[in-house]
Structure 1
Amino acid sequence: MTDLLVIVQSDAEGNAKVPPGTMVAGLPLMRRLVLAAERAGVRRMLVLAPDAEEAKRLLEGTAALVAASGEPLPQLPPGRMVVLAGTVLFQAAWLRALFELPIERERLYAEASLVGVMESDDPREVLSGGTGGRAVPDVFAAMAKARPVVPRMFPQEGRCVLGDPQDCRQAENWLLRGLIKETEGFMSRHVERPISLAISRRLASSSITPNAMTLFSVGVGLIGAPFFLSSAPASQLTGALLFLLHSILDGCDGELARLKFQESRWGGLLDFWGDNVVHVAVFMCMGIGWSLSVHAGWPLILGGAAVAGTLLSAGFVYRHTMREQAKPGPLFTSVSKGGRSWLSQMADALARRDFIYLVVLLSAAGKANWFLFLAGVGAPVFFLVLLAAAATEARREGRLTT
């Protein structure tokens, strides 16, 4: 049995209020639907399109098949079939839930002319009667003639329906809200994320890539690091604000990647190591600046401890949770694999970057060295927490004996 997603595209010059080429967050609507389905794990997709040439142009490079109105359909294997109007945006979990929904065979579970779900031995026969219609309702009506219909309201959460072109901004807001991570810290969620999302919305329609955004954010962070060589509050505050700007812009690369389906292992590695390079540069400059201001060498020990703890933690996270993922696509970047133990949850909480706001406050008073003291102690402790969390997970999975 094979899962099949069918997207019914209306004619841009006929009944469609929202043409398939309408740009939504930097991508044509039809292309966004197909890429979202691929992200959800759907491998077989069929687009019913009045204008096959336009559909093929919009979907170039994807796995979707295109069938023009009135033309014979390709052979389709038996299995679960989900039929969507070409104006229904969805999240991956919502689409997967439709494929897992318990239903009776050879019955069309339909919500108006928006969503249909069916388990059929002959999807081609069910769809064939609707390929001549140019409007989405015609296709659903033809399917209803082929099989008994069971009216069904599908979950509203996880989807967004475009009724007209004016809904595109609302749809973009919906897509952007879906990029917010549940594990984010308070300040990140309420301060940095709204700013980065506003920037990403504007960058989505440009040619700027996520990796280019990563390099730019790393550059901003590295420019800010030397300002901590001075003990002057104005200099330290400038460095701290550039450090904060780096953190804000660093959110844009992942947002762009997820928004435009450009996630990659290389991008995840670039982002991960770029962040750590900036942290190392900041801690080094804090240590050197403090040493110069007091004419002593002991602050360099604190700086070295912060740098060593940062690099050891980064190397451990890479080896423990990132190196094994060789497949293409998004890279798993949590500090733990399972995240189930209290130590794992503590490690994830400590990895959040709300500490940057403390750097800003202390730097405004010319006391960035106070933060270096905390980092010199905290970074090695964080590394030990990671080791303990990994050992706890290994014991739970039976990979480590006591």
Structure 2
Amino acid sequence: MSSTNNTAVLVLQQPPLNTRCTDWYLRPIAGVSLLLRNLLELNESNLRELFIYIPHCTPAENLLLSKELADPRLPHTPRLLEGKSALKEFLQATNHVKIFHGAFLHSNQVLKTALAEMPIEGNEPTYTTISLTEEEILQWEQPFISSDQTPEKIDASPFPSARLFILQNSRPLEKESDFSWHSKRLIYASGLSNDSFMDRVITRRISNKLTHYFVTTALTPNHITLMSLIIGLGSALLFFQGSFWAILAGAVALQISAWVDCVDGEVARLKFMKSEIGAEFDILCDNIVHISVFFCLGMGLYFETGQGIYKALGAFAVLGNLLSFALLNQNIIKGKAQADSHDAVVPEKKSGEPPEIANRDFTYYLLGFSLFGVSSWFLALTAVGSNIFAGYLVYSRRKQ
């Protein structure tokens, strides 16, 4: 008998209301099919050997489902267990098998907590386990079983090493409207744990609505990052005009760019398309936009007023941003990675480390200053503040 601790079987029962298996399990939730999303979540829980048991699908439906299993986001292609006898033989030959109900939307965060036997407070989703029995296998041959039909007590099991993981305090997918409900829930929760106050109160509310559309398209997170970059550079050109209305229009365009800038990360997390290269590309584009905006705002105010001080302020704002970017680039990438791991504990800050600042929050301040016609005040504050901050970073590094 083989022994492994990272083997899982996802059981796909017959869908309700005579729905075809492919129509149900390939239906998207936030841009990823129910079947693929569950497999990706199980994979991120360090369950690397994945199997699919499909007792009811036709050979044609099995073929369509098999194509979904070849998705490049899965490091290893899951294998199909066709028929009850194949499942029983597999369970008898394998130790420590974890069985999951395919009618629930599983979460790697919840599963990691359950596997680590960490306590759950309140009515948060959690897993309970029961031994798998012959009756359980036979039950899977019956039509779709809802969450309230799970057996409360099961006697001795012929497969003592196989455990059925039952997701509690979570809404199962029992009707078509459940797909929309779970999509909205996932999109709403797609922010970062270290989001700033402005992010939580305003930015994420708007970016979530944009993400609801973008996850249904073929656009990748990098495409969305490029879109944010183009809008941001367009705002810089408006700032370069220097007039009140041009600067105000530029501030509005920059704010839209900042909202779109949130979407790329949300889509990457929702569609399992995160990458270190994508994170670095996102930060690089952010700083290109910021540098362009500060430079063009300074030049625009200079052309509008003829006062050379604005060229100097723009140059100092660019210098402070470049220094801060050079010093914080890797820290920002690591910070985003930690904040993206909602199940992880965010480490306490060491003495001398700079406070976390959402670098897109300044767009709201610039919009406010521009609305009252005092964008020059913002430029002065940025020129001074960014260099003080850069100096603080240099001092902190030398002190360490």
Q: TM-score, normalised by structure 2?
A: 0.79
Q: Which amino acid aligns with 2:54?
A: A
Q: Distance in 2 between matches of 1:161 and 1:343?
A: 47
Q: Distance in 2 between matches of 1:72 and 1:153?
A: 22
Q: Distance in 2 between matches of 1:83 and 1:169?
A: 26
8 Å CA contact 2:236, 2:293 repeated in 1: yes
8 Å CA contact 1:71, 1:131 repeated in 2: no
The aligned counterpart of 1:186 is: 197
8 Å CA contact 2:130, 2:165 repeated in 1: no
Distance 1:152 1:271, change over 3 A: closer
**How far is 1:241 from its partner?**
0.2
8 Å CA contact 2:225, 2:261 repeated in 1: yes
Distance 1:321 1:252, change over 3 A: closer
Q: Distance in 1 between matches of 2:25 and 2:156?
A: 27
- 1:289 corresponds to 2:305: no
Q: Distance in 1 between matches of 2:83 and 2:204?
A: 44
Q: Distance in 2 between matches of 1:53 and 1:131?
A: 24
1:36-74 CA distance string (max 9 Å, x none): 222233212222113343431222233322212234244
1:354 to 361, 372, 375: 361
Q: Secondary structure at the match of 1:240?
A: helix
Q: Distance in 1 between matches of 2:302 and 2:150?
A: 74
After superposition, residues 80-159 of structure 1 pair within 5 angstroms as: 81-101=97-117, 117=129, 129=137, 133-135=141-143, 146=157, 156=169, 159=170
Q: Distance in 1 between matches of 2:259 and 2:128?
A: 41
Distance 1:378 1:185, change over 3 A: same
Q: Which amino acid aligns with 2:63?
A: E
* Matched positions, count: 367
The aligned counterpart of 2:13 is: 10
Which consecutive unaligned segments of at least 5 residues does structure 2 have?
A: 119-125, 341-345
1:332-386 CA distance string (max 9 Å, x none): 699xx95513654x5313x342221111111123221111111101112222343
**How far is 1:309 from its partner?**
1.5
After superposition, residues 336-375 of structure 1 pair within 5 angstroms as: 340-341=349-350, 343-344=352-353, 346-349=354-357, 351-375=358-382
- 1:274 corresponds to 2:281: no
Q: Distance in 2 between matches of 1:320 and 1:361?
A: 29
Which consecutive unaligned segments of at least 5 residues does structure 1 have?
A: 103-113, 396-402
1:258-312 CA distance string (max 9 Å, x none): 1111111221111110011000000001111222233233322221221112112
User: Which 10-residue stretch deviates more, 161-170 or 250-259?
Assistant: 161-170
Q: TM-score, normalised by structure 1?
A: 0.79
**How far is 1:132 from its partner?**
7.1
The aligned counterpart of 1:226 is: 237
8 Å CA contact 1:291, 1:297 repeated in 2: yes
Q: Secondary structure at the match of 1:47?
A: strand
**How far is 1:160 from its partner?**
4.1
Identity %: 23
Q: Distance in 1 between matches of 2:365 and 2:253?
A: 14
After superposition, residues 250-269 of structure 1 pair within 5 angstroms as: 250-269=261-280
Q: Secondary structure at the match of 1:3?
A: strand
- 1:57 corresponds to 2:64: no
Q: Which amino acid aligns with 2:390?
A: F
- 1:36 corresponds to 2:44: no
- 1:78 corresponds to 2:104: no
8 Å CA contact 1:220, 1:245 repeated in 2: yes
**How far is 1:154 from its partner?**
5.9
Q: Which amino acid aligns with 2:40?
A: L
Distance 1:4 1:134, change over 3 A: farther
The aligned counterpart of 1:66 is: 80
**How far is 1:199 from its partner?**
1.2
Q: Secondary structure at the match of 1:41?
A: coil
**How far is 1:231 from its partner?**
3.6
Distance 1:332 1:309, change over 3 A: farther
Q: Secondary structure at the match of 2:99?
A: strand
The aligned counterpart of 1:24 is: 29
**How far is 1:185 from its partner?**
2.1
**How far is 1:388 from its partner?**
4.8
2:51 to 26, 46, 50: 46
Q: Secondary structure at the match of 1:36?
A: helix
8 Å CA contact 1:185, 1:353 repeated in 2: no
8 Å CA contact 2:5, 2:95 repeated in 1: yes
8 Å CA contact 1:8, 1:136 repeated in 2: no
Q: Distance in 1 between matches of 2:392 and 2:296?
A: 26
Q: Which amino acid aligns with 1:6?
A: V
The aligned counterpart of 2:258 is: 247
Q: Distance in 2 between matches of 1:206 and 1:169?
A: 16
